[in-house]
């Protein structure tokens, strides 16, 4: 059992704690000779880093990437690719009270129960700072996918609390997503979302929301029909992220309101290519990609640490109260956009490599 690793052929292992010296990732199975620079990885980390706007945590971290191994003269060597980001602005004293008290709806209690010990500073491994390693690895996976088939992955915010953007039919441009701090490509709704998050922050509270992710350029045939279904691995990847509480692909729960005659995606042939007239399946049928755009959504709960007094218990099980301190996102959803993209890339590159390994041409003797 390797609980800190993800993937089979393209496997990542993340390490480090929120207030430890550093966090990072090791990628095992990265193909050799892939051109790769620190700037390419840094660009993705800059989208995730804290302190980037007035609706995120004010923690100031440059999140500068350092390559430790697996890269030589600007190309991957095929050996383990190790990357590191050092922590600089931890301020652990804000968590002193949490050494003895559990934050409601946080991982404090469950971690203590499971291990009998926990790093209370910033939540340790349960902090979203762990996702730095995922985003760094996702940057590498994205480059492989683009080189293999010009795959594009685009995640964006569709809902913050009760505010929902109109359905976005077309594939959004990156510039449209990044145009606002909340990363919703519908400007009018984005402005309302930002004001809501600011209001909630001023009240010492928090809100959640929904991220939609679309992937185009994925060929038909990725995934497995039983346990390693493509949508199952995507669900596991997304629900492994901090604060996630829901996943749906294609029509999702809305599909339960349709009849089969309405829900079925009819096949047609266009210029010799098999396509569907609709995409209720979200690009996956029978656990295997069908060549259409992959579409899924991820639900994030409100941030657990809030600046209001709440009833809780201490290590001895005695009733007490706790008011959150420190620097926390009043809404994790805007910064989670790049993390969702990273995890989607990791799932897809792993399945692509498994598909290629399984379907290489071999000569079998008939004797």
Domain boundary assignment for the chain: 5-358
Is the pLDDT at 363 greater than 60, yes or no? Answer: no
| Predicted TM-score of the model (pTM) | 0.94
pLDDT value at residue 122: 74
Q: What is the pLDDT of residues 289-303, one digit of tens each?
A: 999 999 999 999 999
Q: Is the per-residue pLDDT at 262 higher than 60?
A: yes
Mean predicted confidence (pLDDT) in 189-217: 97
Rounded to whole angstroms, how far apart are CA atoms 3 and 310?
32
Confidence of residue 365 (pLDDT cuts 50, 70, 90): low
The pLDDT confidence band at residue 50, using thresholds 50, 70 and 90, is confident
Which pLDDT does position 18 carry in this prediction? 85
Q: How would you classify the pairing of strands 267-270 and 244-249?
A: unpaired
* pLDDT tier for residue 165 given thresholds of 50, 70 and 90: very high
pLDDT value for 220: 95
Secondary structure string (H, E, C) spanning 289-342 = ECCCCEEEEEEECCCCCCCCEEEEEECCCCEEEEECCCCCCCCCHHHHHHHHHH
pLDDT at 249: 98
Residue 93 has pLDDT above 80, yes or no: no
**What's the pLDDT tens digit per position in 2-43?**
689 999 999 999 999 988 889 999 999 999 999 999 999 999
Residues 6+ apart with CB under 8 A from 137: 12, 14, 25, 27, 83, 342, 346
Of residues 95 and 273, which shows the higher confidence score? 273
Q: What is the mean pLDDT of residues 164-177?
A: 96
- Residue where the block lists tokens 């089969």: 260
Can you give the pLDDT at residue 325? 76
CATH homologous superfamily for 5-358? Chorismate synthase AroC (3.60.150.10)
Question: Of 71, 69, 68, 73, which is closest to residue 86 (Cα–Cα)?
Answer: 68
Distance between start and end Cα atoms, the chain: 41
Check whether 361 has a pLDDT greater than 60: no
Both tokens assigned to 266: 């009819």
Select from 328, 332, 309, 311 the least CA-distant residue to 320: 311
pLDDT, average across residues 309-316: 93
Lowest mean pLDDT among 45-54, 102-111, 168-177: 45-54
Average model confidence (pLDDT) for the chain? 93
Comparing 97-111, 128-142, 162-176, 222-236, the range with the smallest average pLDDT is: 97-111
Report residue 134's pLDDT band, with 50, 70 and 90 as the boundaries: very high
For the segment 300-320, the average pLDDT, to the nearest whole number, is 93
């Amino acid at each position: 059992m390797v609980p800190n690793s993800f993937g089979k052929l393209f496997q990542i292992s993340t390490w480090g704690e929120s207030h430890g010296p550093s966090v990072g990732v090791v990628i095992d199975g990265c193909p050799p000779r892939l051109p790769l620079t620190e700037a390419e990885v840094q660009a993705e980390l800059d989208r995730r880093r804290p302190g980037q706007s007035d609706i995120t945590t004010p923690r100031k971290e440059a999140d500068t990437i350092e390559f430790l191994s697996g890269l030589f003269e600007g190309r991957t060597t095929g050996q383990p690719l190790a990357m590191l980001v050092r922590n600089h602005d931890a301020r652990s004293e804000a968590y002193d009270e949490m050494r003895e008290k559990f934050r409601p709806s946080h991982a404090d209690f469950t971690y203590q129960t499971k291990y009998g010990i926990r790093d209370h500073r910033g939540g340790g491994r349960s902090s979203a700072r762990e996702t730095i390693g995922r985003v760094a690895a996702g940057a590498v996976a994205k480059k492989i996918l683009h080189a293999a088939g010009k795959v594009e992955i685009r995640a964006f915010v569709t809902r913050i609390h009760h505010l929902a953007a109109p359905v976005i039919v077309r594939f959004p441009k990156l510039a449209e997503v990044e145009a606002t701090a909340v990363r919703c490509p519908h400007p009018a709704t984005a402005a309302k979302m930002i004001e809501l998050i600011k209001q909630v922050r001023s009240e010492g509270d928090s809100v959640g929301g929904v991220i939609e992710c679309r992937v185009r350029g994925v060929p038909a045939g990725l995934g497995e029909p039983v346990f390693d279904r493509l949508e199952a691995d995507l669900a596991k990847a997304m629900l492994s992220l901090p604060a996630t509480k829901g996943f749906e692909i294609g029509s999702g729960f809305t599909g339960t309101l349709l009849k089969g005659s309405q829900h079925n995606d009819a096949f047609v042939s266009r210029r010799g290519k098999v396509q569907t007239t609709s995409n209720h399946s979200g690009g996956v049928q029978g656990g295997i990609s069908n060549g259409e755009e992959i579409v899924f959504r991820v639900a994030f709960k409100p941030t657990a640490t809030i600046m209001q007094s709440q009833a809780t218990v201490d290590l001895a099980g005695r009733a007490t109260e706790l008011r959150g301190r420190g620097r926390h996102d009043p809404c994790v959803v805007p910064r989670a956009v790049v993390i969702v993209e990273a995890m989607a890339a990791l799932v897809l590159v792993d399945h692509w490599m498994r598909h290629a390994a399984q379907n290489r041409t071999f000569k079998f003797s008939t004797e």
